[in-house]
Amino acid sequence: MSLIRSPITGDAIREVADVTPAGLDDAFDAARAAAPVWRAVPPTERGRLLVEVGRRMRARIDEVAELETLNTGKLVADTRREAERAAGCFEYYGGYADKVVGSVIPVPGPFHTYTLREPYGVVAGIIPWNVPYFFAAKKIAPALAFGNVSLLKPAQETPLTALLLGEIVAEVLAGAGLPGGIVQVLAGGGELGRALVSDPRTDMVVFTGSARTGAAVGSAAAAHFAPAALELGGKSPQLVFADADLDAAVAGVVEGIVGSCGQMCIAGSRLYVQAAVYPQFLDRLADRVRGLRVGDPRMAGTQVGPQVTQAQADKTGEYIARGQADGGRLIAQAELPTAPELAGGYWVPPTVLADVDPKSPLLQEEVFGPVLAVDRFTDEVDAVELAHRTRFGLAAGVWTGDPGRAHRMAAALRVGTVWVNTYRILSDLVPFGGVGHSGYGREGGADAVGLYTWTKSVWLATDPGVPSTYGKG
């Protein structure tokens, strides 16, 4: 059993039964039995069922948002938006289910040659603790849309909304007379995740989490030749040029580091400001951070909630201390809540440090907390060089009033996503993923078809008299 605690107060919420090795065997048996049944469901009908899941998810948005906030400590405004996105994810892929097509290839000779897109079969999805409900939807919906079945393991700390989503999907599928093994949400810790990924009954793995765990996941999947997509961490730079709208940039930079309590892979944790506006930008940034209201994420007016676990709060605090030890100047910190009922919560102050040693772990490792490191740059070349001083390549922000510069920077930055004069905007219509230590593979948009299916080529001779050796190499 896992005891689930709320990061807002530290109080226990619920106990959740962890899946045993025998339970995992049962889950695989059910998934393997259900896979051919689900694959045989016509794509249009699969799509209709996914849209119905989305409809039922929308009817429970308030319930999901409250539970997600209680379990993760995130603002209700955030968890409500994520619940809406999760429902939209099922609706989007429901509409996409019957739009997957192959192609006819005009090869030389008397042949009709074409391709088919085939589902992998049993897809294992593993998600982190920061956005459990939406990430569960993001893993399950496209897998189902394109004919796979799904085994999903949420993080041990935040399984509650993923389990709820599993119940919603199961209700819809059962109502259609389909077997229960099509979608299964499996609660447990690291041992369960390792067993799920390394089992040869898993045909494909889609993982979101840290780079260290992602490397292990990719290796375990490769050992039995299962393809894997890894959406890993980031150390994303925000680049503010002197010609930018500085007020908009300050707002975007702050949202990019304290949104989701700083616990997001796309956090803009490194800020570089052009030297000509560096002092004034730093002053505006410091004022904004000092004024942030940290507290109960269920209350109106709260802007930043707690870290999701005490261990994560301790880790973030250690990075702040290390950054200062590595020469960083404390520019600003927000005040922590003082209400007695929040005394047991996992609180860390949003913090800005300037002039940190570039080799410091604060600038090289993913903190996953509301900690921003700031420095200056001179020109575009310098900005790109600073942006690339990391092994990660997930995202970047560019703030400028020059359209030409915007396009030059977008082309020069080696990251999966570039935001210009905005930040932290995502859509299921747009591919998402990283390079380097931020992983490989793309979820979202048309790229999801290539992720969750493989290509089969078919050759049909239109002239039976053609020798079988025609065109052979």
Considering the domain architecture, whether residues 308 and 339 belong to the same structural domain is answered as yes
What letter would DSSP give residue 201? T
Considering the domain architecture, whether residues 121 and 69 belong to the same structural domain is answered as yes
pLDDT band, very low/low/confident/very high, at 471 (cuts 50, 70, 90)? low
Considering the domain architecture, whether residues 21 and 53 belong to the same structural domain is answered as yes
Quick: pLDDT tens for 180-215: 999 999 999 999 999 999 999 999 999 999 999 999
Contact between 333 and 321 (Cβ < 8 Å): no
Tell me, yes or no, whether 429 lies in a domain. no
Question: How many independent structural domains does the chain possess?
Answer: 2
Query: What's the CA gap between 408 and 432, in Å, rounded?
Result: 21
Contact between 452 and 142 (Cβ < 8 Å): yes
Tokens of 347: 């609180």
What pLDDT shows up at residue 464?
Answer: 78
Tell me, yes or no, whether 431 lies in a domain. no
pLDDT(78) > 70: yes
Considering the domain architecture, whether residues 252 and 213 belong to the same structural domain is answered as no
Considering the domain architecture, whether residues 276 and 367 belong to the same structural domain is answered as yes
Query: What's the CA gap between 413 and 406, in Å, rounded?
Result: 11
Which whole-number Å values give the CA distances from 468 to 107, 115, 457, 462, in the listed order?
15, 20, 17, 12
Quick: pLDDT tens for 152-181: 999 999 999 999 999 999 999 999 999 999
Contact between 252 and 406 (Cβ < 8 Å): no
What pLDDT shows up at residue 468?
Answer: 61
Tell me, yes or no, whether 208 lies in a domain. yes
Tell me, yes or no, whether 463 lies in a domain. no
Considering the domain architecture, whether residues 216 and 281 belong to the same structural domain is answered as no
Which domain does 26 fall in, by range?
2-232+438-458
Considering the domain architecture, whether residues 286 and 314 belong to the same structural domain is answered as yes
335 part of the active site? no
Considering the domain architecture, whether residues 182 and 255 belong to the same structural domain is answered as no
Tokens of 297: 């994420």
pTM of the model: 0.95
Length reported for the chain: 473
- Find the catalytic residue in 68, 82, 91, 231: 231
Considering the domain architecture, whether residues 224 and 261 belong to the same structural domain is answered as no
Query: What's the CA gap between 435 and 48, in Å, rounded?
Result: 35
Domain with residue 220: its CATH number is 3.40.605.10
Tell me, yes or no, whether 47 lies in a domain. yes
What pLDDT shows up at residue 467?
Answer: 64
What pLDDT shows up at residue 275?
Answer: 98
Tell me, yes or no, whether 406 lies in a domain. yes
pLDDT band, very low/low/confident/very high, at 1 (cuts 50, 70, 90)? confident
Domain with residue 285: its CATH number is 3.40.309.10
What residues contact 444, with CB distance under 8 A and at least 6 apart?
138, 427, 428, 429, 430, 431, 432
Considering the domain architecture, whether residues 94 and 191 belong to the same structural domain is answered as yes
Please report, rounded to a whole number, the percentage of residues in the chain having pLDDT higher than 70.
Answer: 98
Considering the domain architecture, whether residues 208 and 338 belong to the same structural domain is answered as no
Phi first, then psi, for residue 330 (nearest 5°) are -75, 115
pLDDT(4) > 60: yes
Tell me, yes or no, whether 472 lies in a domain. no
Tokens of 14: 């619920």
What pLDDT shows up at residue 100?
Answer: 96
Considering the domain architecture, whether residues 251 and 191 belong to the same structural domain is answered as no
Tell me, yes or no, whether 35 lies in a domain. yes
